[in-house]
Amino acid sequence: MDLFDNIPIEQQGLTAEQEIKALRTELAEQNYKYYVLSAPTMSDREFDEKMHRLQELEAAHPELFDPNSPTQKVGSDIQPVSGERLAVSGEGFPRIKHRYPMLSLANTYSREEVEDWVRKLPPNVEIVAELKYDGLSISLWYEHGQLVHAVTRGDGTEGDDVLPNIRTIAAIPQTLIDAPERLELRGEVLLPWERFEALNKQREEQEEPLFANPRNAASGTLKLQDTREVAHRGLTCFLYYMLGEQLPGRTHYERLEQARAWGFPVSDAIKICHNVDEVMNFIAYWDTERKNLPVATDGIVLKVNSLAEQEELGYTAKSPRWAIAYKFAAERQPTTLRQITYQVGRTGVITPVANLDPIQLSGTIVQRATLHNEDFIRQLGITEGDRVFVEKGGEIIPKIVGKAEDDTTRQSSNPSQPRTPSFITHCPECGTPLVRVEGEAAWRCPNELSCPPQLKGRLEHFVSRKAMNIEGLGSETIALLYDKGLLHSVADIYSLRQEDLAAQERLGDKSAQNILASVEASKQVPWPRVLFALGIRMVGETTAKKIAKRFRSIDALQWASKEELTAIEDVGEQIADNIVAYFADLRNLEIITRLQAAGVQLASNEREAAASVPQVLAGKTIVISGTFTEHSRDEYKQMIEDYGGKNSGSVSKKTDFILAGDNMGPSKLEKANALGVKLISEQEFLQMIHG
């Protein structure tokens, strides 16, 4: 297949300038999704191909040079300070300037290019072949034998210091014996396959979005503020590069051996090669063998062994000339798209699904793949009966990456006929006309209250652990009770009777009793969680808490104006509209009346209100920095909110004080000093709120 087959049709026929612009925008957006959101929507290969295409175009048009082009920069995982809403999970780490820029590697998917690279090296050079680990890069700083910082790549110049999270990795030594005064080790942080699968299983059970691959899971994990959760997830690490002044060793290999001797986790899958054949054998061997490794790899890295020769070869703006990465191709197979069917999700989103002629891909049989939404189908330009390519790479979930061959006969017989089938207009489950909210990619069934999958979804959400925590009502039982006509709304849960439940084949007396006991207990669930349980669109757990704090009963909330709602932190126009729309629907009001009659907590009760804590931090903007001993960072964040204060990720003139733990980030400290912002210790803070 041609390297540039994936360039979208709409970009063909563009001028070079237009194509360059389009590619720059698209790649910059993908960099953001990859590095900041840890949720890329493009495969690595597609990204690399587009990057190559852009490089090629820019080389042919030097007059269009732009220093901000993605070809000139390393992608960045630094959290944009202003994008707080998007970047919730990663804010709050001190930023640190790299002592040595953190470069990436030139990469290729072509074995011929690898051969070329080797052949162009000076004669008789030794080449170290290593595995390319597919996680995220980290730089470990040691001073006087102590681990003092662990910095992510960031934009290559400056990264986030995620030291507390790195300390959870047992394989990384905290202290070195007989090491130079200053030392930097670089490597890859990884989440082993086994841990990744367990994490996704748990997330599925808790209805949280799944990570697409171990790399995204590792990246999401490193950004967490809760070290206990990080430790629980079980990250691991391999180190592959040592930096510093007056280090021992004349070759890269010797340095890795030294790193191993100091106790660092260095992979055994390393070989010194002397010619192209040895390099190719290494590649061929690991292309298959890597499937048996406990962690993800996506290629091979080749490095010139001699440090003196490395220095002679030097660097480009982005990468060393003395190294190259060969990336393994994702497994790809052609097959026929038989039929497009449509699924209605629990939130009413309609997802088109490709039903394929079964094919074998990376050890599993694939016969279905998501087509995401209407735009995705249009971009691929595919229709039923087409031959398509299906790919399974680092992404566990197979996906359709393009048309395998053009069906030119069909196109030429009637060029005016659209190639893509028209998207359905009515819900396949309940027949309601579909709607598409402006700016959203998805079509949706608006019949939230009685479209069967949506209703079952609402019921499942209502009983879930973080909502009403009703045990015994799993998705199968809910489906059963729905089919038997016993559950039509969340209010019906409080009318379930022992005899009706016990009469169900799969339940029996004991389970029926347990369910009803749990239903009874749910009447004590406090108002903020009940509000979350109601499942108003986009009102998640945290937002529900904030709303419930401002409106202390559903009666008050029911009459809230849009302006009052948007005045609450985290509540934007859309959420406010959803809340107003929720109370405008009579069917919801009936549900609320029935929940109220059943004794569900639809207001903060008196005891709770009385026990509500004094608002000693009212009006204060507080920044948390460093590590703590008494409580986790998340707990401190919650305390700040509970006591009326506001959390902020960065130090500014508006900051009232910094809750400063150990190892506070130097950049925050510097800024605090410059602005004269006070630092409050953990103990002082606890005294402040507990009196």
Contact residue for ligand IVH among 103, 114, 390, 623 (CB under 6 A): 103
DSSP 8-class letter at 399: E
CA distance 394 to 214: 8
Contact residue for ligand IVH among 11, 55, 89, 104 (CB under 6 A): 104
CA distance 624 to 343: 44
* 93 touching ligand IVH, by CB under 6 A: no
The interface mask with ligand IVH, positions 201-240, x = CB under 6 A, is ---------------------------------------x
Residue 655 CB, nearest approach to ligand IVH (Å): 34
Residue 104 CB, nearest approach to ligand IVH (Å): 3
315's CB contacts (< 8 A; 6+ apart) are 103, 321
CA distance 88 to 223: 9
Task: Please answer whether residues 368 and 353 qualify as being in contact, where contact means their C-beta atoms are separated by less than 8 angstroms.
Answer: yes
Residue 280 CB, nearest approach to ligand IVH (Å): 18
* 73 touching ligand IVH, by CB under 6 A: no
CA distance 622 to 685: 11
Contact residue for ligand IVH among 132, 149, 215, 223 (CB under 6 A): 132
* 53 touching ligand IVH, by CB under 6 A: no
Contact residue for ligand IVH among 180, 320, 334, 446 (CB under 6 A): 320
Residue 75 CB, nearest approach to ligand IVH (Å): 9
- Can you give 622-657 as a three-state secondary structure string? EEEECECCCCCHHHHHHHHHHCCCEEECCCCCCCCE
Q: Which stretch binds ligand IVH (CB under 6 A): 100-108, 114-122, 375-383, 450-458?
A: 100-108
CA distance 531 to 517: 21
Residue 479 CB, nearest approach to ligand IVH (Å): 45
Residue 138 CB, nearest approach to ligand IVH (Å): 8
Residue 293 CB, nearest approach to ligand IVH (Å): 13
CA distance 246 to 397: 47
Nearest to 491 by CA among 598, 341, 336: 598
Structure-block tokens of residue 189: 């942080």
* 55 touching ligand IVH, by CB under 6 A: no
Contact residue for ligand IVH among 44, 188, 429, 682 (CB under 6 A): 188
* 162 touching ligand IVH, by CB under 6 A: no
Query: Considering 50, 73, 132, 403, which one is annotated as catalytic?
Result: 132
CA distance 271 to 279: 9
Angle ∠(55,61,64) on CA atoms, nearest 5: 90
Question: CA end-to-end span of the chain, whole Å?
Answer: 70
Q: Which stretch binds ligand IVH (CB under 6 A): 98-106, 403-411, 544-552, 614-622?
A: 98-106
Phi-psi region of 499 (alpha: psi -120 to 50; beta: other; left: phi over 0): alpha
* 252 touching ligand IVH, by CB under 6 A: no
Closer CB to ligand IVH, 302 or 591, in the complex: 302
* 87 touching ligand IVH, by CB under 6 A: no
C-alpha 223: how far from chain center: 10
Closer CB to ligand IVH, 299 or 535, in the complex: 299
Contact residue for ligand IVH among 7, 105, 592, 659 (CB under 6 A): 105
Q: Which stretch binds ligand IVH (CB under 6 A): 88-96, 125-133, 479-487, 581-589?
A: 125-133
* 516 touching ligand IVH, by CB under 6 A: no
Task: Please answer whether residues 470 and 490 qualify as being in contact, where contact means their C-beta atoms are separated by less than 8 angstroms.
Answer: no
Closer CB to ligand IVH, 240 or 326, in the complex: 240
Q: Which stretch binds ligand IVH (CB under 6 A): 22-30, 97-105, 328-336, 660-668?
A: 97-105
Would residue 132 show up in a list of annotated catalytic residues for this protein?
yes
* 290 touching ligand IVH, by CB under 6 A: no
Residue 136 CB, nearest approach to ligand IVH (Å): 7
Residue 253 CB, nearest approach to ligand IVH (Å): 12
Task: Please answer whether residues 128 and 122 qualify as being in contact, where contact means their C-beta atoms are separated by less than 8 angstroms.
Answer: no
DSSP 8-class letter at 451: S
Return the percent helix, strand and coil in the chain, to nearest 5: 40, 20, 40
Residue 196 CB, nearest approach to ligand IVH (Å): 17
Structure-block tokens of residue 587: 């069917």
Contact residue for ligand IVH among 323, 350, 427, 576 (CB under 6 A): 323
CA distance 347 to 341: 18
Phi-psi region of 245 (alpha: psi -120 to 50; beta: other; left: phi over 0): beta
CA distance 199 to 202: 5
Closer CB to ligand IVH, 281 or 341, in the complex: 281
CB count in 10 Å sphere of residue 543? 21
H or E, element range at 377: helix 374-380
CA distance 648 to 141: 28
Q: Which stretch binds ligand IVH (CB under 6 A): 11-19, 45-53, 320-328, 351-359?
A: 320-328
CA distance 308 to 304: 10
Contact residue for ligand IVH among 46, 91, 130, 160 (CB under 6 A): 130
CB neighbour class for 377 (10 Å; exposed up to 12, middle 13-18, buried from 19): buried
* 554 touching ligand IVH, by CB under 6 A: no
Contact residue for ligand IVH among 109, 241, 326, 443 (CB under 6 A): 241
Catalytic positions are 132
Residues lying near ligand IVH in the complex (CB under 6 A) are found at 103-105, 130, 132-133, 137, 188, 240-241, 301, 320, 323, 325
